[in-house]
A = this chain, B = another copy of it.
């Protein structure tokens, strides 16, 4: 079977990115199939929104109310523990995630093996504990919880300000825009001799599985490791 690569574009500012990331990684562990390779792509969702002319769901009042309930239902379904933010407007639109996503991009460039665990710890800070991920102490806490030494963690925070790291995050974001993305999570399936196929949203993993003839396991709880 030819290699199928799935680029998973995500931003830790986005709770649906977390759910999509978690459910996809669980599936990947259950498939345990060397012909399917997940490529984690830290991405800047603000750049996707601007580049595609899209608007975040928070601008329609009823959608924000619904989102809180939808997240609770997804918690129940997936066995995750997301909480609504106390001040979504400030957290999502004023503070954002650029520093966190740059630090994760720095890790991806030098220690890709830590990216999954660190991304999850950053999501936990914002989407479980309602903490400010623009605060370096919070990020340090997330990085060390993921198993990084304090020195290593500091190093990545410094690298976040480097030009090549900033460029790499921009590159991942442009890669997503070029594939037609307008939000996150987005999954780009690449296969030799076939057109790239972009799937948008945590709820399209079922269709992605169907397309690749891989079994869909719903919440895929057997693949849960963290």
Copy tally for this chain in the complex stands at 2
How many angstroms between the C-alpha atoms of A61 and B219 in the bound complex? 32
The segment from A33-41, A87-95, A200-208 found at the interface with B is: A200-208
Shortest Cβ distance from A60 into B: residue = B54
Chain B proximity of A136: nearest CB distance (Å): 35
Q: Which residue of B lies closest to A181 (CB)?
A: B62
Contacts of A55 in B (CB 8 A): 55, 60
Residue of B nearest to A61 (CB): B53
A66 at the interface (CB under 8 A from B): yes
Chain B residue with the shortest CB-CB distance to A200: B66
Q: Mark A170-193, 1 if CB is under 8 A from B, else 0.
A: 000000000011100000000000
Enumerate chain B residues within 8 angstroms of A218, measured Cβ to Cβ.
Answer: 206, 216
